Chain A
Amino acid sequence: MNIFLKNLKWLSGLLLLTVVMVLAGCNAAVDIDKALEGHLQGPAKIYRHSLGGAPSSLDPVNAATVYTNFIVVNIYDTLYRYKYLARPYEIVPNLAVAMPEVSDDGLIYTIKIKKGVFYADSPVFPNGKGREVIAEDLIYSIKRHFDVANRSQGSWLWDGKIVGLNVWKEAGSNYNQTIPGLKAVDSHTIQITLFKPYPQLTHTFAMGFSALVPHEAVDYYGREFSVYPVGSGPFKMLRYESSNYALMIRNIKYRQEPIDLAFEGYDPKQHKQYGIDKIAGKSPPLVDALKIDFIKESASKWASFTKGSEINYSGLPVEQVEQVLSQKQPTLILTPEMSEKYHMFHTIEAGFVHTDFNMRDPLIGYNDDPVRNKRNKLLRCAIRSAFNWQERNDVFYSGIAIEYPGIIPPVVPEFDPDLSNSSTLHNVNEAKRLMLESGWTPDNLPTLVYGGVASVSTRQIYEQFRGWMKDIGYPEEKVVFDSYASFGDFNKAVKQAKIMIIGMGWILDYPDAQNTLQLFYGPYGSPGSNNSNYNNPDYNRLYEQTSTMQPSTERTQLYRKMNNMVIGDCVSITGLSRDDIFLWHKNVISYPDSQILGGFHLKFVDMLDEEGN
C-alpha cells in the first residue's frame, strides 16, 4: 500500500491528464439537440440518414461524387432539378422561373431566375444577413470552374462550349473581366451563348457542379470554403466533419413553394403506400434538421440503422439481402419482420457496370497487323461469350440486377428493350468456336491482365473471371491479376492506358444516353473517360452528329446504332445495372433516390409524429 501512497502524485497527475483529454474529446463532439439550440423553436423534426461514403469536399466545383452532390444540392440552389416522383426523370425549374428560352439555332439560352430568393444568413455577408441571389452569381459560379486555382472537377460540362469561357481562363481567370457567352441581362436574367447547340446544357444546370455560390463566402473562407458551404438551398450547414457527418438545419429563408404532387409525378398506386399524399401543399423543407452520417462499414451501418440511429438506409449490401428479403423474383418482397418495421423501395441504378478491353493494348486491342487485329477482335468476342452475367449477378448482386446488351442502360429513355441479348449470353461453345476460328491455342494466347484495386471483392471478381476463362481453355497462368494498393493508383494506371482488362462502373450524370455513349468516343480516350480507348471513326462521327441534336426519334436511332457498334466490335463486356434497395423507418415519409435525383429528394422528406400525423 505504501508504494501507492508514495506514488499518489504520479497517479493523480495521470488521472488529471485522462480527465482533461476526455473533456477535450467531449468538447469536440456534437449533440444534435444542443447544436440545434437557438436555431430552432419547439420540438424539432430531425431526419437522420446514412450514406455509404463521405464527400471529399462541399465546394460545388468538386461535386463529382454521389456523396458530395448529395449534400451540395441541399445547401445550394441549382437552376433546375428533377421531379421528385416522376420516372423516367423529368427536369423542371428550381431556382429558374421556367425552362430556358432557346433561340431557333439552339445557340442562345435565356434563363430567368426567381426574385426574392436569399442566401442563408452567414457571417460572410454584411451584418450576417444573406443577400438576394442574382444572375451574376451563376456567372461567378461557372467562372470558378475555369479558374485553375479551384481544381474544378466539373469544367468538362462547359469546356469549349460557351463563347469566351476558355479564352477567359487562358487570359488568367480575371473575375472582373466579362465573358461574351455569359451575360447577366439584368439582375435576374442570364443569357448564355454557345458555339454550337448543346442539348444537355439544361441538365448541367441540375447538377451540383452548377450550384450558385456567393462570392462573399469564397472571399471569406478562401480554401476552406470547401468545408464551410453557404448557399440558398433548403438547408443550411450547421456542423460538418469531413469523413464523419454533416448536420444541417432548415434554411428559414428558403422560398415558400407548396408541393404540387400531381406536378411532381404522384401516382397513388406507387406512392400512397409511403404516405406521400400527406406532404401535398406543404412547403419544403419539411424537416427541421438533417443529420447525415457517413458510414462505409456495412455491418456497422446496418446495426446502426436497425437500432434506429439512422432512419434511412440505402444500398443494401449483398450480405444483408437474404436477411431482408423473403422473395427476390419476380418482385422483391420484404420478410414479414422487416415489412412491419420498414418501408422499402427499390430501383434500377442510373448507371451500369462493364468490363472494358484496352484497345490501345496491341495484345488484345488494335494491332497494326490487320490479321492480328482481326484475331484480337475474335478473341475479345470469345472472352465476352465466356463471360457469365447470370453468375456475376447471383454472386455479387444478389441475383436482382438487370442484365442487358450494350451501353445504354434501362434508366434512360433511349434504352432499347428489344435489342438482341446474344452478346450477354454465356456460351462456352461459341467462345471455343471463335478461338478456334481465329487460330488461338493455349500456346499462343496472350496473357490476360485483369487490373483492379487490391480488395477482397475485386479479387473475387477476378477469380470468377479466371474460372470462366479456364472453361474455354485459357491456361490459368495466362490470366493474371494486376492489383493496385489504392483506387488512386488504379485510376492512374487506367488513365495512362496501362491496364489490359478493366472492370468499371459508371453512374450517369444526367438521364441521357449521351452520357454513356461518350465513354466510347475516340477523342475522349485515356486520360479521358473512354477507358477502353475505343476509336471507331464511324462511331466518332455519329457521336459528333448527335451531340448537337435535341432529343428525337432520329437521335435515338443514331444512339442505338452507336450502341450496336460497341457490341459488334466486342470492345466491352456489358452490361448490368444494379438494383438499389432503400429501407426507411415507418415514421418517415420519403421516396428516396440516390442517383439522378440524389440529394434533391431530402427537401421533400417528412416525419410523422407518434400519432401518425
Chain B
Amino acid sequence: METLQYTLRKIITGIPLILGVTLISFTLMVHFGPDKTYDLLGKNPTQEQITEVRHQLGYDQSFAVRYTQYLKELATMDFGYSDSSGEKVSSILIRTIPVSLALILPGFILGNLLGVILALIAAYHRGHWIDKIIMGVSVMGMSVSFLIVIIAFQVIFSSSKGLDLFPVRGWDVYSFTDYLHYVTVPTLASIFVSLGYNTRFYRAVIVEEMGRDHVRTAKAFGAHPIELLFKSVLKNSLIPIITRIMFSIPLVVISGSLLLESYFGIPGVGKVTYDAIISGDQPILKAVIGLTAIMFVFTLIINDILYKVVDPRISLK
C-alpha cells in the first residue's frame, strides 16, 4: 500500500517534470531546430506554396497553440505522421524500439556486470598492480573514440580483411542464432567503451565503502573475501550503482545508440531520432522526447522503490 501510494504521488509530482522537459525541448525544437519548409517544397515555389507548406507543418501557429497540441498528442500517445516519410510515428517507434533494446541490452547488462566485478577486484586490491592494470585498461577504453572502436571492430571481426566471422552490418535476424551473429560485434564495441567508465565509477563507490567500519570489522572477523565483497561491500554500495544504471535506461531504451545503429545499419530508434534531428522531423522528435521524459519519471519511481529494497531503512514517505 505504501508503495502504491508513493507511486501515485510520484506520478502526480512527475507531471511538472514532464511539462518542464517538454517545454524546454519544444522551445529548442521550434526556435533552433531545422526548418523543414524548403525540404518539402519543389523547385521554384511560389509564396503561396511556401505558405501552404508552413501551414501544414503548423509553423504559422503560435507557440502556445503548438505546445498545447503537443501536450494533447502526448496525452493521447498519438503523434501523427512523420513529416519526412509520412509513416505513422507510432508505427516507427513500435518497429524500432524493440530493435534498439535487442541491440543495446546485452552490452548494457554485460558492461555493467563486468564493470561491477572488475571494480570489486580493483577496489579489493587497491594500489596493487591488479588495480593499476584494471584502471589503466579502463582509461584506455575511455580514451578511444567510440567511432574508432566501431570501425576497428568491424574491420577486425567482420570484414573480409579481418577475421570475417560476423556480418559487417544489417539486422537480418530471424532466429536466436542470427541474433547472436548480428549483435556480437556491436555488443563487444559497446562493452569495450562502456567498461572503462563503469569500472572507474563503481571502483570509486566501492573503495569508499571498503573504508567503512563495518567492512573493517568483517575483515577483522575473518570473513572470506568473496563474502566480504558481495555481502558487506557491494550490498551497501548498491544505492549509487542502481542510480547510475537506472538513469541510463531511458536513454538506452528511447534514444538507442546512434553510432552503433548507423555504422552497423541496424534499424533502431537511435538512428530514427538522429535523422529526425537533422531533418527537423518534429512529430518524431516530439514523440521521442516526450516518451523519454515519461520514462525518466517512471525510472525515478522504480529507482526509489529499489532503494528501499536494497536498504530497508529508507522510507518511501
Contact = CB atoms under 8 A, between A and B. Distances in A.
A178 to B, nearest CB: 24
Contact of B160 (A22, A28, A296, A307): A307
Interface in A151-169: 151-156, 159
A524 B42 CA distance: 12
Given A57-B85, A225-B86, A304-B169, A25 B44 contact: no
B36 A488 contact: yes
B298 to A, nearest CB: 14
A153 B40 contact: yes
Contact of A485 (B34, B84, B99): B34
Contacts of B231: 2-3
B178 A307 contact: no
Interface centre among B45, B85, B91 (most CB of A within 10 A): B85
B169 A309 contact: yes
Interface string B84-106: 11111001100110111111011
A57 to B, nearest CB: 5
Contacts of A304: 168-170, 265
Given A244-B267, A307-B159, A485-B34, A223 B81 contact: yes
Contact of B86 (A14, A26, A156, A224): A224
B266 to A, nearest CB: 8
The residue among B32, B53, B168, B267 with the most chain A CB atoms within 10 A of its own CB is: B168
Contacts of B81: 223-224
Nearest to B161: A306
A242 interface: yes
Nearest to B40: A151
Interface string A32-57: 10100000000000000000000011
Nearest to B92: A242
Contacts of A487: 34, 39, 278
Contact of B173 (A31, A486, A495): A31
B235 A3 contact: yes
Contacts, number: 201
A162 to B, nearest CB: 16
A153 B87 contact: no
Interface string B27-59: 000001011111111111100011011001000
Contacts of B279: 56, 486, 488
Contacts of B40: 151, 153
A245 B171 CA distance: 10
B98 A226 contact: no
Interface residues on chain B, size class = 35 or more
A227 B102 contact: no
A154 B42 contact: yes
A491 B95 contact: no
Contacts of A491: 38-39
A492 B172 contact: no
Nearest to A151: B40
A21 B169 contact: no
A28 B168 contact: no
Contacts of A149: 56
A24 interface: yes
A59 B161 CA distance: 40
B311 interface: no
A565 B241 CA distance: 71
Instruction: Give the one of B53, B84, B155 with max A CB within 10 A.
Output: B84
A307 B164 CA distance: 8
Contacts of A21: 98, 101-102, 105
Contacts of A241: 95, 267
Contact of A28 (B37, B42, B95, B264): B95
Given A156-B44, A226-B85, A492 B267 contact: no
A25 B99 contact: yes
B173 A26 contact: yes
A306 B92 CA distance: 31
Interface in A215-235: 223-227
A466 B250 CA distance: 45
Contacts of A88: none
B203 interface: no
B63 interface: no
B247 interface: no
Contact of B172 (A4, A29, A297): A29
B98 A486 contact: no
Interface string A131-163: 000000000000000001101111110010000
Contacts of B267: 28-29, 241, 243-245
B34 A486 contact: yes
B280 A488 contact: yes
B99 A28 contact: yes
Q: Which of A14, A27, A34, A241 has the most CB of B within 10 A?
A: A241
Nearest to B275: A243
Contacts of A154: 42
A297 B106 CA distance: 24
A528 interface: yes
Contact of A527 (B50, B85, B88, B96): B50
Contact of B280 (A31, A148, A486): A486
Contacts of A308: 160
Contact of A32 (B87, B95, B172): B172
A243 B98 contact: no
Contact of B98 (A27, A34, A299, A309): A27
Contacts of B84: 56-57, 242
Contact of A224 (B87, B173, B264): B87
Contacts of A155: 42, 49
Nearest to A19: B176
B8 interface: no
Contacts of B106: 18, 22
Contact of A492 (B35, B45, B109, B230): B35
B34 A303 contact: no
Contacts of B37: 492
B158 interface: yes
Closest 10 CB pairs of A and B: A25-B102, A488-B34, A226-B86, A24-B98, A31-B174, A528-B44, A29-B173, A153-B42, A21-B101, A244-B267
